[in-house]
Amino acid sequence: MTDSLISPVPELAPPRKAPQAVTDLVENIERTWQFARPYREEVEQEFYRLLFHLSPSAREFFPVSMQAENGRVVRALIRVLRLVHRPDDLVPVLRQLGRDHRKFELHPSHYEAVGTALLGSLKHCLGAVWTPEVERAWAEAYTLVARAMQDAAADAEADGVEPPYWTGTVSEHHRLSWDLALVRVELDQAMPYRAGQYVTVEVPQRPRLWRCLSPANAPRTDGSLEFHVRAVDGGWVSRAIVGHTQPGDVWKFGAPMGCLQVDRESRRPVLMIAGGTGIAPIQAIIDDLGRWVDNPETTLLYGARHWDDLYALDRLYSFSTSNPWLTVWPVVEDTSSTPDAEQATTAEAVTRWGPWTEHDILVSGPAAMIEATVTELLRVGVHPSQIRYDPFLTA
């Protein structure tokens, strides 16, 4: 586990002025988390020990080897709780997360056990720092978050429209390069996602390990979803998908999540910035916009380490010739094999070109790329409210 996985997300929108009680709560959480941080592996171990002791049935949600889980849930929980001072950003995410968690068919006692295990594991590692005031702060934050998720799940249940999860069958799997696969899945039941959203996915080769993937196409009436999956070094799920997916495999999906979208009505120009497979949700949005002739002027800055990694470029160029509202600008970090290419990271490219002060901006890609690019956009004077990206609650 690396430290960056639990570092704060960049401060985007200035948070709505939080009431004093919330400020105190957050200060207590932040202060004690800084104490607990060096012991996070101990916190993680103690969390799972307590959770499975308090709720043996919760063990079934996790993989046989907890090594593969690698503390993801407890890290995600702490990350979410540290955002309670940003309700405008957090509440929509929690509502989506609550709907996503319906895939586990949780009982309220599971939420209680997770809360108790989290507080118990922090207390175990914090010793004298764990005062009644600190305990109250973590408990209140957890209660707020858990309630928002459970309410959203209950609302979805009451609507009776969405299943707790979706299934689909792989109809196509081919490699776009040695470490990248295109996978097409035919859903068994319509999924109401918006182009640009992502879903959590469970594949048969890696039971009970859920990963976020972004459909690369706008919703289709035939229910087909296209995914681009890159195998990462040491990756449990991505390597299994790229190396071992077969037509006929059944994939399971949680409810759609994410905030990437274009407001066509605003008529403001759009800047899209994509790195790696972060092009997938951007391609879905472009696919969706392609249904209209009249779209905002859109610039896509598409970056990768090497030219060959810009796997979607030909398709995007060909789309832009018949859709003049779209301009595609490729950038690569390493130009040794393509000296004519524009050399830059996406963060450098946004400062080289621009200004972007009139644009609605979408950023999509690996967490580090989003963080660097957003930081640079803010530095050159873009207002936080102009920028959209999905929060990295996990890694």
Ligand X SMILES: Cc1cc2nc3c(=O)[nH]c(=O)nc-3n(C[C@H](O)[C@H](O)[C@H](O)COP(=O)(O)OP(=O)(O)OC[C@H]3O[C@@H](n4cnc5c(N)ncnc54)[C@H](O)[C@@H]3O)c2cc1C
What is the smallest separation between the CB atom of 228 and ligand HEM, expressed in angstroms? 18
Candidate ranges 190-198, 207-215, 347-355, 371-379; the one touching ligand HEM (CB under 6 A): 207-215
Bridge pairing between strands 360-364 and 270-275: parallel
Q: Does 210 bind ligand HEM (CB under 6 A)?
A: yes
**Residue 115 or residue 219: which is nearer to ligand HEM going by CB?**
115
* Footprint (CB under 6 A) of ligand X, residues 265-284: 277, 280
Tokens matching residue 111: 């939420």
Assess contact for 153 and 203: CB atoms under 8 A.
no
What is the smallest separation between the CB atom of 210 and ligand X, expressed in angstroms? 9
**Residue 43 or residue 149: which is nearer to ligand HEM going by CB?**
149
Which residues, other chains included, contact 304 with Cβ-Cβ below 8 Å and sequence gap of 6+? 275, 276, 310, 330, 332, 333
Per-residue binding string, ligand X, 220-259, x by CB under 6 A, is -------xxxx-x-xxxxxx--------------------
Residue 228's binding partner among ligand X, ligand HEM, none (Cβ under 5 to 8 angstroms by kind) is ligand X
Q: Does 148 bind ligand X (CB under 6 A)?
A: no
Residue 238's binding partner among ligand HEM, ligand X, none (Cβ under 5 to 8 angstroms by kind) is ligand X
What is the smallest separation between the CB atom of 217 and ligand X, expressed in angstroms? 12
Q: How far apart are CA 75 and CA 60, in angstroms?
A: 19
Strand partners, 274: 302, 364
Tokens matching residue 121: 């594991």
Residue nearest to ligand X (CB): 235
Per-residue binding string, ligand HEM, 211-250, x by CB under 6 A, is -x--------------------------------------
* Footprint (CB under 6 A) of ligand X, residues 327-386: 366
Tokens matching residue 262: 């274009």
What is the smallest separation between the CB atom of 256 and ligand X, expressed in angstroms? 11
DSSP assignment letter at 10: P
Q: How far apart are CA 193 and CA 201, in angstroms?
A: 14
What is the smallest separation between the CB atom of 359 and ligand HEM, expressed in angstroms? 29
Q: How far apart are CA 191 and CA 196, in angstroms?
A: 14
Q: Distance of alpha carbon 14 from its chain centroid, rounded?
A: 21
What is the smallest separation between the CB atom of 198 and ligand X, expressed in angstroms? 4
Which residues, other chains included, contact 233 with Cβ-Cβ below 8 Å and sequence gap of 6+? none
Assess contact for 75 and 6: CB atoms under 8 A.
yes
Q: Does 63 bind ligand X (CB under 6 A)?
A: no
Please state, in angstroms and as integers, the Cα–Cα distance from residue 301 to each residue in 27, 200, 226, 371, following that order: 38, 26, 22, 16
Closest to 212 measured CA to CA, from 228, 224, 223:
228
Q: How far apart are CA 331 and CA 365, in angstroms?
A: 14
Q: Does 213 bind ligand X (CB under 6 A)?
A: yes
Residues in the chain: 395
Residue 145's binding partner among ligand HEM, ligand X, none (Cβ under 5 to 8 angstroms by kind) is ligand HEM
**Residue 236 or residue 307: which is nearer to ligand X going by CB?**
236
Candidate ranges 10-18, 99-107, 171-179, 324-332; the one touching ligand HEM (CB under 6 A): 99-107
The percent of the chain in helix, strand and coil, each rounded to the nearest 5, is 50, 15, 35
- The binding site for ligand HEM (CB under 6 A) comprises 58, 61-62, 72-73, 76-77, 80, 97, 101, 104, 106, 110-111, 114, 145-146, 149, 200, 209-210, 212, 393-394
